Every structure is written in C-alpha cells, then in structure tokens.
C-alpha cells in the first residue's frame, strides 16, 4: 500500500514540476501553460469549446473563458460550424500561429535538453509504464461505475 501511495506522491510532484516548467516556457511569449495547451489543441484541427475541453480534461467553462481571452487578444477566432449552428469552431489566427510557434520552439529546446539527460529508450520505458498505469486505473474505475 505504501508503495502505491508513494507512486501517487511522485506522480503529483512530477505533474507539478511539469506544470511549472510549462508555465516558464509559455511565459516567454507572455502566455500561460493553459493558454499554450489550448492553442496547441486548436492547432491540430478546428474544434468547438466542448471538444477542446474534453481533449484537455477541463471544464467547458474554463475553455470558454480562455478562448474568450485569446479571442480578445486576436489569437483565435470563431468560424461557422456546419455541424452545429450554436457551437462555433475555434481556429488560430495568424497571430495565434506565431505565438504558438514561438512557444513550441522554446519547448523543443527544452525537450532537447531533456533528451540529453534521458535517453530515448528510457523515455519510451517511462511512457509504457505510464500507459500501463493509466490503463489499470481506468479499468479499475470502469469496474466501479
């Protein structure tokens, strides 16, 4: 039991360290990690606010507020959604693309530094373990629903 509790503690600490690191990278472009994640998600494909929220695992209200702020700054815009008249698609503007490119560039430099400390094989091993962990917890949760 103690080993699992310690694992959760380390996962929480890793998530916290990752968030602080992401905040530092995003701040280079006067953004936050939440905004970076939102821009990054929108860059993959035009999405509605609920779709963005589901992909990021946060509330629709949170994404509605963030996209409103990003819209006011000219980084995203709404487009007509042919599948849903009242839920527009959110897309990056050229200014949003420029900001995202700047943040992602800083992220790539940071990732390269990480690769110099951890080999690709060790990163792959960690990812496999995390995927197993996520699957086991998800399966356990599904059994109790």
Domain of 38, CATH number, reads: 1.10.10.10
| The model's pTM | 0.82
Percent of the chain surpassing pLDDT 70: 99
The whole-number pLDDT of residue 1 equals: 62
| pLDDT tier, 9 (very low <50, low <70, confident <90, very high otherwise) | very high
The partner residues of 91 in beta bridges, in order of sequence, read: 77
Q: How far is CA 131 from CA 126, 134, 140, in A?
A: 9, 5, 14
Q: Say yes or no to pLDDT of 33 above 70.
A: yes
User: What pLDDT sits at residue 45?
Assistant: 92
How many domains does one find in the chain? 1
CB neighbourhood size of 145 (10 A): 4
pLDDT digits (tens, 9 = 90+) for 65-119: 999 999 999 999 999 999 888 899 999 999 999 999 999 999 999 989 888 889 8
What torsion, rounded to 10 degrees, do the Cα atoms 35, 41, 47, 49 define? -40
Give CA angle at 127 (131, 141), nearest 5°. 20
Instruction: Specify the pLDDT at position 114.
Output: 86
Model confidence pLDDT, tens digit, residues 118-129: 988 999 999 999
Calpha distance 102→59 (Å, rounded)? 27
pLDDT (average), residues 42-69: 96
Sign of CA dihedral 22, 24, 29, 33: positive
Range of 105's domain?
A: 2-143
Q: What is the mean pLDDT of the chain?
A: 93
Mean pLDDT of 44-69: 96
pLDDT category at 145 given cuts 50, 70, 90 is: confident
Q: In the predicted model, what is the mean pLDDT of residues 50-55?
A: 96
């Amino acid at each position: 039991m103690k080993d699992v509790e310690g694992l959760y503690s380390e996962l929480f600490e890793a998530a916290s360290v990752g968030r602080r690191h992401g905040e530092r990278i995003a701040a280079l472009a006067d953004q936050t990690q939440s905004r970076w994640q939102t821009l990054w998600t929108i860059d993959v494909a035009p999405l509605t606010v609920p779709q963005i929220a589901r992909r990021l695992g946060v509330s629709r209200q949170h994404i509605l507020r963030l996209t409103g702020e990003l819209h006011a700054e000219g980084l995203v815009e709404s487009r007509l959604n042919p599948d849903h008249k009242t839920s527009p698609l959110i897309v990056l503007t050229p200014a949003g693309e420029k900001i995202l490119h700047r943040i992602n560039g800083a992220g790539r430099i940071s990732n390269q530094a990480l690769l110099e400390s951890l080999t690709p094989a060790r990163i792959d091993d960690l990812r496999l373990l995390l995927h197993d962990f996520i699957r086991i917890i998800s399966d356990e949760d599904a059994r109790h629903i």
